[in-house]
Amino acid sequence: MFTIPQCSPRANYLIHKEEIDRAIARVLESGSYILGDEVEVFEKEFAAEVGVSHAIGVANGTDALQLALRASGVGSGDLVITVSHTAVATVAAIELTGAAPIFADIDPVTYTLDPNTLGGIVKNAPAGRIKAIVPVHLYGHPANMGAILDFAKTQGLMVVEDCAQAHGATFQGRKTGSFGSLASFSFYPTKNLGAIGDGGMVVTNDPDLAQRVLLLREYGWQERYVSYFSGTNSRLDEIQASILRVKLKYLDQENCRRQSIATKYDKALSGTGLSLPQTSLGATHAFHQYVIRTDNRDGLREYLARQGVGTLIHYPVPVHLQPAYIQNPPAMLAETEAIAAKILSLPMYPELTDAEIDIVCEHIGAWDGS
C-alpha cells in the first residue's frame, strides 16, 4: 500500500461524495435504469463541453472507438493507421471491426502520432486498403491535428480521434474530440472524467454518423426489436451517467489543478537530469499523466516504491511487440521502441496535495541514480 498512490479514483469520489450519492439515489428512485433521462441529459452536456453537436453514450471506451470506426465504414479487410505507443484498447477496438492496425511512429517530445510518418505508411501499404487514421491524444497532450487532418484530406481518409486520456485538452483553441469525423472517449475511473465503473462516449458533428452510432450501440434498432443492420449491446447506464454529470461540472477546475501539479513538478525536478513533459505551442495539456524519462527508469521506480510513492508505466511494451500483435515482418518504430524502457508516470490526480508533491520531488532529488 503506497503512502502516495500514482492515482486515486476514491479520493475523487470522496471530494464529490454528497453530490454523487444524491445522484445515485435519484436514479434508484426513478425506476429508469437503462437509456433514460440521465444518459440523454449527460450526452447533451458532454457534447456542449467538447463543442460538438452530438454525443452518444456507450458501455466503455473500447466500444466507443470500435463503434465510431464501424460508423465510419471501417470493416473486414481494411487497415487503420494508429500508434503502437498507446493502451492496447486502441488496437483491440480496431480489430473488433474486422480491420487491422498499421502502426505509425510517434513524436518523441509529445508521444503522439508523428504526421511526418504518414506519407511513407500510405506509400508502402496495399492500395486502397487504408480507410482511417486514429490519432491518440496520449497522456492528455493533443496530437498534431492540423497536420493529420491535412494529410487525411489529401488521401480521402477518415479521422477518428482517440480521446480516452484527453478530456478537456485543447489544440489551437478547440477541444480534443471536435476535430475528427468522430471521436471516442473513455470514462474509466482513473480518467480525468471518470465514472465509478465503465463508460464511454462517441462524439461527432455529423448527424448521419451520430444516427449510425446510435443504432449500432443497440442491435441496429431504429424501432425497438427491429434491427436494420447488425449492431451490438453497448449502453451507458443511468447510474454512471448521473455520476458523470456531477463530475463534469468540475472537469475544468480539476484539469487546472492537474496543470498546477505539473508546474510544481516542472519547477522542482528541473535540475534532476530527468526528461520532463513538454507542451507544444498552441496545445493545452490535460495532464492525465505526468510522464518523465530516465535511462534508469526501473531503478527510480523501485527506489520510489521503497519510499511509499506509487508510479506506473504507461506503457512498458509497445503494442506491436506484444505477443498478440507481433506482425511479420515486424513494424520498425524507432522512437516508440526507444522510450519504452525509459518512461515513468509520477503520481497525478487533482486531490494530490502540495505537501505530497514536495515529498515525491524530495525523494527523486535524493535518489543517487543507482
Which domain-ending residue is among 215, 248, 281? 248
3-class DSSP assignment, residue 223:
strand
Same domain? 215 vs 228: yes
Same domain? 138 vs 211: yes
Which domain-ending residue is among 224, 248, 272? 248
Does 146 score more than 80 pLDDT?
yes
Mean pLDDT, the chain, rounded, equals 96
Burial 112-148 (b: 16+ CB within 10 A, else e): bbbbebbeebbeeeeeeebbbbbbbbbbbbbbbbeeb
Does 1 score more than 80 pLDDT?
no
Same domain? 238 vs 312: no
CA 239 to chain centre: 22
Q: Quickly state the pLDDT bin for 117 (edges 50, 70, 90).
A: very high
Does 328 score more than 80 pLDDT?
no
Q: Over the stretch 244-264, which tens digit does the pLDDT of each residue have?
A: 999 999 999 999 999 999 999
* Rounded-to-integer distance, Cα 29 and Cα 354, Å: 40
Beta strands in the chain (DSSP E): 54-58, 79-83, 100-104, 130-133, 158-162, 170-171, 174-175, 182-186, 200-204, 221-223, 226-227, 283-284, 290-293, 343-346
Q: Which whole number is the average pLDDT over 161-173?
A: 98
CA 145 to chain centre: 15
Domain of residue 347 covers 251-366
Same domain? 217 vs 91: yes
Q: Quickly state the pLDDT bin for 368 (edges 50, 70, 90).
A: confident
Q: Quickly state the pLDDT bin for 370 (edges 50, 70, 90).
A: confident
Q: Quickly state the pLDDT bin for 309 (edges 50, 70, 90).
A: very high
Q: Which whole number is the average pLDDT over 283-299?
A: 98
User: If you search the block for the grid coordinates 486502397, which residue do you land on?
Assistant: 128
* Rounded-to-integer distance, Cα 288 and Cα 185, Å: 13
Q: What does 104-170 look like in DSSP terms, one character per residue?
A: EPB-TTT-SB-GGGHHHHHHHSPTTTEEEE--B-GGGPPP-HHHHHHHHHHHT-EEEEE-TT-TT-E
Tell me the longest C-alpha to C-alpha distance in the chain: 66
- What is the structure's pLDDT at 223? 83
Q: Over the stretch 186-210, which tens digit does the pLDDT of each residue have?
A: 999 999 999 999 999 999 999 999 9
Q: Which whole number is the average pLDDT over 87-105?
A: 97
In a domain, 162, yes or no: yes
- What is the structure's pLDDT at 20? 98
* Structural domain count of the chain: 2
- What is the structure's pLDDT at 332? 86
Same domain? 213 vs 275: no
Give the closest residue to 349 by CA, choosing from 269, 290, 271: 290
CATH number of the domain within which 191 lies = 3.40.640.10
Same domain? 237 vs 293: no
* Burial of 257 per CB tally in 10 Å (0-12, 13-18, 19+): middle
* Burial of 335 per CB tally in 10 Å (0-12, 13-18, 19+): middle
- What is the structure's pLDDT at 225? 86
Range name among 21-30, 323-332, 338-347 with the lowest pLDDT average: 323-332
Same domain? 237 vs 283: no
Same domain? 267 vs 326: yes
Same domain? 287 vs 224: no
> CB–CB of 226/69 below 8 Å?
no
- What is the structure's pLDDT at 19? 98
Q: Which whole number is the average pLDDT over 72-78?
A: 97
Does 15 score more than 90 pLDDT?
yes
DSSP classification of residue 319: G
- What is the structure's pLDDT at 331? 77
CATH number of the domain within which 349 lies = 3.90.1150.10
Output the CA torsion sign for 90, 341, 165, 183: negative
Give Rg (Cα) of the chain: 21
> Cβ neighbours of residue 155 under 8 Å, at least 6 residues apart?
122, 130
